[in-house]
Structure 1
Amino acid sequence: MTAQALVIDVREDNFAAAVLEESKRRPVVVDFWAPWCGPCRALGPVLEKLAEEMAGAFLLAKVNSDENPELSRSFQVRGIPAVKAFRDGKVVDEFTGALPESAVRKFLEGIVPPPGDDLRQAALAAMEAGREDEAERLFHEALAANPRNDAARLSLARLHSAQGRWEEVNADIAAMSPAFQLEDEVQALKALLEFSQAVQSAPPMAELERRLREAQGDERAQALYLHALRLLLQGQEEPAMEELLELVRDHRQYGDDLGRRTLLQIFTVLGARHPLVEKYRTRLARTLY
């Protein structure tokens, strides 16, 4: 299928045929934009990329709001970019503003799942039930059906990280599209990968604990850092963050403020809504200022 069949420009005189009638055959996603709109220039390429990735499962119709003011008024467009999804001649979902790719992908998946996404959903269910071998097989089948399904690749990378298969995590991330690699969830995996690499050549826990009791200066700072990473990778987030806070407080210059930078990475790993993030973000601010 050509790019022309995936993305079209729509005007007032062909909107009924190009959007309303076409939406009776497949979903049509209308992007109201304008050339002067910076957020529109950010969102447009994301929509076009996903239209190509989903291989015609929906039609992307682009409406220049400046040139088609009546369409904007008819569909109550009060700010741009404005995206409206049509099915059977009616708006079934919409959003306003430039969202990150992951959010746009979720929006589109609510309109029409990408090829192989049923396999990804089955894989997630298998992973939730602890059937990891089955989950991995299904993720690979989903990617065989659609090699550009970055959501499936991210889920596979999470499975590999939970199993400590860090080389495969690295390969999973490298295979994602460059734009998708900038998403917070991928950045969190990159941070975990970095932590795993840092501890590969670290002394055993017993030796690190001895250094914490006996060492001074940079040797103690290094022990604090590596001990905290080991705790984190074992799922002991709060003790790890406590030690990193100590590193910030007592060894601020070590590793070019390594304790603070590592805490910020952990905040990304845990996610903004995790209760420990709010607690330790506040404690970090108090320590710094």
Structure 2
Amino acid sequence: METSLATFEKDVIAASTLAPVLVDFWAPWCGPCKTLGPMLEKLEAEYAGKWRMVKVNVDENQELAAHFQVRSIPHVMAFADGQPVDQFIGVLPEGQLREFLDKLVPQGADAARTEAHAALAEGHREDAYDALKEALAYDPGYDDARLDLIELLLEDNRIDEARNEVDLLSPKTTQGIDARFNAIKTRLDAVDAAADLPPTDALEARVAAEPGDLEARFDLASALIARRNYASALEHLLAIVQRDRTFRDDIGRKTMLSVFDLAAHQPEIVSQWRRKLSAALF
């Protein structure tokens, strides 16, 4: 597949978060490029989706070539998780190409987690569950994969299963400063709190009657988080920030940050309330 400056973000940067991407900088007049290109295409087919190749014609995309400091072709750059991670210049023998690729392609638990991300991107949730469980079977201490699984369970409102997985996280994650875990904890804490709170309409009535009742506002925000009504929860959390940063050790701001992570699949909402929080703070 050929890419250009206009499509590079989608074809390479975004795509490399699902599987490694090799970018082959080439030109039609380049003899060695005509040797390397078919070798890469053959290996791409052989590796069956474990990585993908994208080609950049340097004559037609001089700005891209200059950005990546391509001075000699063929020049191959490997991208993973949105970043360039390795490269080579010239034509490598097939054995060396395989060594280059084998270092790039995820193995074992990493490969299963990559498969889960690809399945989610295609809307195949059950396949994603299976792949994440496979990753954890390879490596039960793989907290990043377990956090993926917990987030998926919470999205599907499988709260008890999510709690069981939280219990299996390492102390490094649960006792450290991990934004993903903090977001998960915020949702589970909100579910716990909501179980003992009055109905949402009663909490709304309390806040309407006394807008300065920050405890009532936080209770309402917790109930809304438990129901995944993140936009409305953020409205009340911001009101707490605006009224009193010292309330419960700045819990309004801290909870907003966790909700941003919980609502990552709703980027417009996150962007809107990040701007409002920034305005309130500065």
TM-score (norm. length: structure 2) = 0.52
* Distance apart, 1:115 and its partner CA: 1.3
Equivalent residue number for residue 190 of structure 1: 185
Q: What's the C-alpha RMSD, in Å, of the aligned pairs?
A: 4.0
Residue 152 of structure 2 corresponds to residue 159 of structure 1: yes
- Specify the code of the residue in structure 2 equivalent to 1:200: A
Query: Which ranges of structure 1 fall in alignment gaps of 5 or more residues?
Result: 1-82, 94-107
Closer, same or farther: CA 114–189 of 1 in aligned 2, 3 Å: farther
**Offset from partner CA, 1:176-203 (integer Å, 9 cap, x none):** 3444555433333233233333323221
1:229 equivalent to 2:222? Answer: yes
1:209–1:166 distance in 2 versus 1, CA, 3 Å: same
Instruction: Judge conservation of contact 1:229–1:240 (CA < 8 Å) in 2.
Output: yes
- Aligned twin of 1:77: none
Q: Which residue pairs with 2:129 in the alignment?
A: 136
The residue type equivalent to 2:156 in the other structure is Q
For the pair 1:213 / 2:208, whether they are aligned, the reply is yes
The CA distance in 1 between the partners of 2:239 and 2:153, in whole Å, is 31
State the match for 1:200 in structure 2: 195
Pair 1:260 & 2:250 matched: no
CA–CA separation in structure 2 for the residues paired with 1:267 and 1:136: 24
Deviation at 1:243, TM superposition (A): 1.7
Alpha-carbon distance, 1:133 to partner = 5.0
Question: CA offsets per residue over residues 212-258 of structure 1, 9 Å max, x none?
Answer: 222465xx322221222333343433322122111222344432332
CA distance 1:264–1:137, change in 2 (3 Å): closer
Shift of 1:111: 1.6
Gaps of 5+ in 2: 1-84
1:126 CA drift (Å): 5.2
Separation (CA, whole Å) in 1 of partners of 2:119 and 2:129 = 9
2: CA distance between counterparts of 1:145 and 1:153?
12
Quote the Cα distance in structure 2 between the aligned partners of 1:265 and 1:282.
15
Q: 2:142 aligns to what?
A: 149
Q: Using the alignment, how far apart are the partners of 1:89 and 1:126 within structure 2?
A: 31
The 1:204/1:119 distance shift into structure 2, 3 A limit, reads same
Q: CA deviation at 1:143?
A: 2.1
Q: Residue 22 of structure 2 aligns with which residue?
A: none
Counterpart contact for 1:84–1:91, Cα < 8 Å: no
Kindly tell me the number of residue pairs found equivalent between the two proteins. Answer: 191
Instruction: Encode CA deviations 1:29-59: one digit per residue, 9 max, x unaligned.
Output: xxxxxxxxxxxxxxxxxxxxxxxxxxxxxxx
User: What secondary structure sits across from 2:256 in the alignment?
Assistant: helix
Over 3 Å counting, the alpha-carbon distance change for 1:226 and 1:256 in structure 2 is: same
Tell me the SS of whatever aligns to 2:198: coil
After superposition, the Cα gap between the structure-2 partners of 1:159 and 1:264, relative to the gap in structure 1 and judged at 3 Å, is: closer
